[in-house]
Structure 1
Amino acid sequence: ALIAAFSAVKALENPHRADMVAALGETTGRVALARLRARMRADPVGSRILVERPVITSTSMDVHRLAHLPDGTLGREYARFMEAHGFDADARADVRFVDDEELAYIMLRYRQGHDFLH
């Protein structure tokens, strides 16, 4: 609870503190992660993802290659977003405050996939 409160205050003071935003999500998101896991387990693709545990890295999502795709494609827009903000797929923080290994993977996947939502 102390980590959640501290990270909440720090994240509100400076929303650019990705480490504090990440800690807040990890320490307050157990119920949401458990629901996500249940939905993933109930779906054939979600189940496969939980077994295979793919991750988004600079190798799997080569921003330089994606930057040459046509405008408006998901890959091109992802590359544009990552480059514009100076983000690196390999720089995402490790999950530190989720004890359950499967839930920790789901948090990591959520964190890695978040950039696609922009």
Structure 2
Amino acid sequence: MSLTAEARQLLRKGQVISAEIPASSAELMAWVGVHPFVDKRSTRTCADPGRGRNRFIIRGCEAPRALVEANQDLTGSLLNERMAVVLSEEEIETVLSSWGVDSSTLERDRAPYPY
């Protein structure tokens, strides 16, 4: 499936979208999130085609269910972290599909997504 119109709109406004996804075991909870940003790296070369372009960081992780349910700080407790940086909404869908995630489940970021 593809990103919803609402999710695309949120990304274009610079807002994070996320979803809880199936974890690798019952003792864990898992999430995936997409963070939009503009690449503002400064460079001393004449041309940097990536600078100023919109990009998206896709992050996924798992955390112990007991810590999440107890509303504990998850710093240092995240497991199976993964990340990708892409340039387009279509690439977001491609990466999420390769991770086994349905893009249409992503929505406005809500707790307890840890990033």
Where on the TM-score scale, by shorter chain, does this alignment land: which range?
under 0.3
TM-score (ref. length: structure 2): 0.25
**Larger strand proportion, structure 1 or 2?**
2
**Larger helix proportion, structure 1 or 2?**
1
TM-score (ref. length: structure 1): 0.25
